[in-house]
Amino acid sequence: MDAIMNYIDKGVGALSSFNFTSDLLDILLVAFVIYEAIKILRGSRTFQVVKGIAILFVVFTVVKITNMEASEYLLTKLFENGLLILVILFAPELRSVLERFGRQSVKDFFKFSFRNSSEHHKVLSDTINNFCKAADNMSETYTGALVVFEKDTILEEIAQTGTRLDAASSTELFNSLFFKNSSLHDGAVVVRDGRVLAAGCILPLTQNSALDSELGTRHRAAIGITEQTDAVAVIVSEENGAISVAKNGELTRGVSSSSLREILLNELATHQEDTAATKKAKKSRKEKRNEK
């Protein structure tokens, strides 16, 4: 009972000493840092390391509570050098974050990723239409192509293996990127939120030994990235001009340009609408609970 009253007294003391301006700015700054950290780490291998550290911290807490002296000593020594270990582990990511902040304008720095859903849907639809026209043209000319459309899993590490573009999409851009004399035509193009994020990217190859031996590197890379993420990959074969779509580690071959458009709209545009609708429904339920 005394412990509970002690916590209550501390809470009341904290509220009474709350400075609206400075403390509110402090909370917003912390929230911003956490938000940016999640954006950077989400979908990358670094996130797995962060999860491992979190689990290690939980183990350390249990060890300390149960008074396991030997384990506590080892973990204490580990955490004492934790900052140095983190700097060594995350040196490339830290450098990337600082470079990203340096490239941003003041307006972009304070702008969170809120988007107008109707405008975003139009951009996404236009990108799909542009790509389908390009895919149809590349199919007729037997031009090899590999395009990965990002969904929820952030493909930042994949984008970093290629040349960053962050360009508005167009049929001409897709055609030029995969033109046979282009220096970027051998790699994959990554599309994020309707924009061409990067080109000439390297994808992980699938380890599935049961696949058809006729499948080339592009097809195996498309299957590989969709095994590891929720992305959708589209391949145009330079051998026969056939269009294929990979998702969830499965490959659909011989897709027509009209079917390709429908698949991409269902996977990308409908997915965005469902996500927005889910968020809206959750917000509505929360408001109803607050009213009660």
Complete DSSP assignment for the chain: -HHHHHHHHHHHHHHHT--HHHHHHHHHHHHHHHHHHHHHHTTSHHHHHHHHHHHHHHHHHHHHHTT-HHHHHHHHHHHHTHHHHHHHHTHHHHHHHHHHHHHS-HHHHT------HHHHHHHHHHHHHHHHHHHHHHHHTT--EEEEE--SS--HHHHTTSEEEEEE--HHHHHHHT-TT-TTTTSEEEEETTEEEEEEE--PPP--TTS-TT--HHHHHHHHHHHHSS-EEEEE-TTT--EEEEETTEEE-S--HHHHHHHHIIIIIHHHHHHHHHHHHHHHHHHHHHH-
pLDDT at 278: 46
Q: Residue 71 — pLDDT band, cuts 50, 70, 90?
A: confident
By mean pLDDT, which of 5-14, 159-168, 203-212 is the weakest?
A: 5-14
Q: Residue 118 — pLDDT band, cuts 50, 70, 90?
A: confident
What residue ranges define each of the domains in the chain, with the CATH number in brackets?
7-109 (no CATH), 117-277 (3.40.1700.10)
> What pTM value is reported for the model?
0.62
Residue 260 has pLDDT above 90, yes or no: yes
Chain-wide mean pLDDT for the chain? 80
